Amino acid sequence: MGTKFAHFSISDSSIDQTIGLLNLIPKRPNIMEIMKRVAPDNELFNKPIEQLKKPENQSDEQWQKFQKD
């Protein structure tokens, strides 16, 4: 398994000032925002829900639930 990491850095901010900002980081990221960034060409994440086609392997009921969610 390879190495993985991610971090951010902020300019002109002391350690204590930066710690003060950490409460503003969402506890959970917005999954749709992540997917829009990671997979910009995947229409599932970038088209209005009304414009998406129902996948063949989904029942009407499942599709309606997905659209509602």
Partner 1 sequence: MQKRTYYVGQNLNWTTVFSEEFGFESIDVYTLSLSKNTDKLFFTIGLFDEDVFTFSVIKEGKIVTHHVSGAAETYEMKPSLGDAAIFAETFNVVPRKEQLEQILETNDRHLDKKITELENLISVKLWLNRSAPRELRWKKVIL
**Residue 11 vs 57, nearer CB to partner 1:** 11
Question: What is the C-alpha to C-alpha distance for residues 30 and 37, in angstroms, rounded to an integer?
Answer: 11
Decide if residue 24 touches partner 1 (CB under 8 A).
Answer: yes
- DSSP code, position 50: G
**Residue 26 vs 48, nearer CB to partner 1:** 26
Decide if residue 60 touches partner 1 (CB under 8 A).
Answer: no
Angle, vertex CA 28, rays to CA 18 and CA 6, nearest 5: 55
Positions that interact with partner 1 (CB under 8 A):
1-15, 17-19, 21-27, 29-30, 33-34, 37-42
